[in-house]
A and B are shown apart, each in its own frame.
Chain A
Amino acid sequence: MKPQLAQHRNRIAGDTQDLSLVEENVLVQQIRNGNDYAMQELVSRNRQAVARVVKAMLGDTPEAEDVGQETFIRFWSKIDTYRYEAKVSTYLTRIAINLAINESRKQKRRLALEKPFETNQKSTSIALSQPSQHAKDEVAHLHEALSQLDEDQRAVVVMRMLQGYSTKDTAHFLGIPQGTVLSRLSRALGKLKIILEKLDSV
């Protein structure tokens, strides 16, 4: 009985050891072995990166929180397919951006059904922006501006300019040609310029 107890204690000690210094690959391996503490550490390391993507796409909404959770759950449930080819944060960003695009389209469809007489542009804006007309800080301005882009353009801006991925990587993540990334980015920046100017003048 005693050796079993010692073995059990050792296992718990192994699970709860300071994981903040553990390398990403080791962390992934531990998650595969069923270590929940390793998963928690991975979440805390990457939550801000995921939050940047989903909140830039969906605004500071409960849906953004749900998409964030779904991103990590998907990663956990498909961890056996993770091949260490890219960093975990890149893998998570890819899942997050695609889930956020889907959620954004769902919101758009829902709003189009609820308010069929309003234009799509207006609907998207309503869905994504929190009441920030009087907010003067830059984050609110940025949310407001991004929410006025359509989801495809927003995704390109988020990946290329906010996350700093290359055009090639952005194209790869979104499953579109590089030329499309650049043309969407060009249109989006043109729109952003006008929107931010308007917001700044308020």
Chain B
Amino acid sequence: MKSVNGKQWIQALLHELENSQRQEKNDRKASQMHELPHHDDLMKIKDSLQAYEADFDPAFDQKIMFQIRQLRQMGQKQQRLFQTMLRYSMGVAAAAFLLLAFIIWQENSLAIDGLLGLAGLKSDDFSNLLAIY
């Protein structure tokens, strides 16, 4: 993808820019356009840019690896937490199911008062219960 030959590169870019400017002129936006830099200016800018080299801190790689390890550990912790929660909720669901099955077996009914342990109670019984508590 990188351009190689300096002169050709500049010519191609100037050509592309000129075309673009022409098109914009047609769109009546030409008044806002700046004047194109000349070949020499463009060459100078390109030279400045080509000379540009940059790098990060020498410990850059280590910092990234440290962060990655931290993220991985965090991910593992979250996974463990999720699995624990899943195990507990499965246990609770199983216990609820067993309790329900036991109540149905005891009361021999699926009626709500049976499930709540209130089967066979009369209104007087409720009054008595309320009086006690």
Contact = CB atoms under 8 A, between A and B. Distances in A.
B interface, by DSSP: helix, strand, loop or mixed? helix
Q: Which 3 A-B pairs have the closest CB atoms?
A: A190-B34, A182-B20, A164-B2
Interface of B: 1-3, 13, 16-17, 19-21, 23-24, 33-37, 41-42, 44-46, 48-49, 51-57, 60-61, 63-65, 67-69, 71
Interface stretch (A45-53, A97-105, A128-136): A45-53
Contact of A161 (B46, B54, B56): B46
A51 B54 contact: yes
Contacts of B19: 182
A39 interface: yes
B75 to A, nearest CB: 10
B60 A68 contact: yes
Interface stretch (A11-19, A21-29, A107-115, A137-145): A137-145
Interface of A: 36, 39-40, 43-44, 47-48, 50-52, 55-56, 60, 65, 68-69, 72-73, 76-77, 90, 138-139, 141-142, 145, 157, 160-167, 169, 179, 182-183, 185-187, 189-193, 196
19 contacts: A39-B64, A47-B60, A51-B55, A51-B56, A60-B54, A77-B71, A138-B52, A139-B52, A142-B52, A162-B49, A165-B2, A179-B23, A179-B24, A182-B17, A183-B20, A189-B45, A190-B35, A193-B45, A196-B48
